[in-house]
Structure 1
Amino acid sequence: MSRDPSSKIRLAAVGDLHCREDQHGRFRHLVKQVNATADLLVLCGDLTDRGLLEEGKVLAEDLSALRVPCAAVLGNHDYEHGQVKEICSELAKVGVHILDGDHFIFEKVLGVAGVKGFGGGYGNATLQAFGEPQTKAFVQEAVTESLKLEAALSHLDTPRKVIIMHYAPIPETLEGENIEIRPFLGTSRLAMPIDHYGAEAVFHGHAHHGALRGQTKSGIPVYNVAMPLLARHTPDQRYVLLEV
């Protein structure tokens, strides 16, 4: 039976779990809380701490107790040891849908578009593809991630949609981070497809010392759901719960 298109969906969002191989059971309480309060869980990257398969297995062990669907994107830490394929395989075994420029549809009502994202700066200070090939390659990565997000959103025709990523699409949720590193924490290139296609909300991680919330130029709310940040603000509930 399909969900009533007008009914609210309780969405739980968190990123930067940084699961380590010696942390068996660390996320059991989180999973128990999500099961009790949410219809859907989204994870916003840095699922593992060093991108090791064993870390992915430990996280999958805890997530196996989830009773709600789960969609996720990867973060920079998940790429550290070149074991992304193996980590994704372990998480898929417990029903986690890893998104990388594609989407997940929840009960024909809510579409979740997901992409890792990349850095590059914001507004007039966005890095441009000029000069050394290394600089051009860096910029191209940000452009590619933006195009992947655009492709994911263009294929969504659900009544509602949300977007998950690891890097920040706006600078406002980076307030609190050292100014020097903010261009490496995200880029406004990611905000372009968001504002073009629209969404109920955007969730990202990566900025452990940033701000909890901001909005795009068109007014779409953006939530920084990095777990270390949430742990300081809402220690009893280390995820954002939003009705969409």
Structure 2
Amino acid sequence: MKQYTRREALERLSPAVLLSLGLWPGALRAATTNAESFRFIVVNDLHYLTEECGHWLERMTAQMKSHGEIDLCIVAGDMTDQGKLEHHGAVREILNGLKMPLHVVIGNHDYLAGNSDRAPYEKTYPNSLNYAFAHRGWQFIGLDTSEGLKFEKTSIPEHTFNWVDEQIGKFDKDRPTIIFTHFPMGPGVKYRPLNTDSLLERFKPLNLQAIFCGHYHAFTQTQFEMLLAQARQSRRHEGEGVLPLQRARWESHSRICRAGARSKNCSDPATKIVITSTTRTHVG
């Protein structure tokens, strides 16, 4: 019977298992870098539908700004409920009030309802299907995991795989990396795309530290060694709650900011706001 080294054994495990065990190969072998610590916001599933939703979103952004120095904001899809151009524009205008860099990915509700047209999204957020950016020594990768208007039993589109295959060799393997998508990537999470493992396989060489996602409208808690992933939905938002994010290589926390009751005319939200820091400690 063939004997495998520890590294060889890790390489044979599926990405889902590696995520669940906190044994991402690239993270385990990455060299120490000069990546800095900073704070950023991740928000998802705003589902803007009417002007009344805009008032709720304005109150929410006011709470987001109250948390002190934040470097950037990521929205993990479903900015709107029906994908209309005017709705995308309204959300963009309100989020611009944060006065910080804004990075988004497309969700299934960001397509124009009825015909799967993503032109309104692309007009509002140019060059925001698959892309990457760097910040203070960290790599951020935004990926399109949508399949038009479909919400379940989906497959990540071919153009996303093509983009990753073209770009993967250009990323710094040692820099800590964060991926953000709309559809969930974690093993065992509902609505996970059917070909998720095939996509994650391509990122094994990178120092992947976390994946932020949206889409699932319910409370869920999945324990990974690197991340305690939590999401919740509430018809009424009262006060402010705090949930911990426990990571083996991060010191961080999350806050679920609740900013008053949403109108019955607004789409039932699954919005969560994660405010997290990126203190990185190398594990030898």
TM-score by length of 1: 0.68
- Equivalent in 52, 55, 58 of residue 28 of structure 1: 58
Shift of 1:155: 2.8
| Aligned alpha-carbon RMSD (Å) | 3.4
Q: Is the 8 A contact 1:173 1:223 kept in 2?
A: no
Mark the runs of 5 or more structure 2 residues left unpaired by the alignment: 1-32, 148-152, 243-255, 259-271, 279-284
CA distance in 2, matches of 1:26, 1:239: 14
- Equivalent in 139, 142, 149 of residue 114 of structure 1: 142
1:101–1:57 Cα change, 3 Å: closer
1:31–1:162 Cα change, 3 Å: same
Whichever residue aligns with residue 46 of structure 1, its letter is D
Q: In the alignment, is residue 104 of structure 1 matched against residue 119 of structure 2?
A: no
Shift of 1:113: 0.4
Q: In the alignment, is residue 16 of structure 1 matched against residue 37 of structure 2?
A: no
Mark the runs of 5 or more structure 1 residues left unpaired by the alignment: 93-97, 120-126, 128-137, 175-181
Say which SS state the counterpart of residue 208 (structure 2) adopts. Answer: coil
Shift of 1:83: 4.8
After superposition, the C-alpha distances for 1:43-73 in whole angstroms (9 at most, x for unaligned) are 1011110111121122122112012211110
State which structure, 1 or 2, has the greater radius of gyration over its C-alpha atoms.
2
Higher relative contact order (CA 8 A, sep 6+): 2
Whichever residue aligns with residue 178 of structure 2, its letter is V
Say which SS state the counterpart of residue 97 (structure 2) adopts. Answer: coil
Counterpart residue number, 1:188: 197
Q: After TM superposition, list the pairs within 5 Å mapping 1:60-75 onto structure 2.
A: 60-75=92-107
CA distance in 1, matches of 2:218, 2:90: 26
- Work out the number of aligned pairs and report it: 206
Q: Is the 8 A contact 1:114 1:152 kept in 2?
A: no
Counterpart residue number, 2:163: 148
Shift of 1:200: 1.8
Q: Is the 8 A contact 1:46 1:75 kept in 2?
A: yes
Whichever residue aligns with residue 103 of structure 1, its letter is A
Structure with greater helix percent: 1
Q: Is the 8 A contact 1:25 1:62 kept in 2?
A: no
TM-score by length of 2: 0.60
* Residue identity (%): 19
CA distance in 2, matches of 1:88, 1:146: 19
1:184–1:160 Cα change, 3 Å: closer
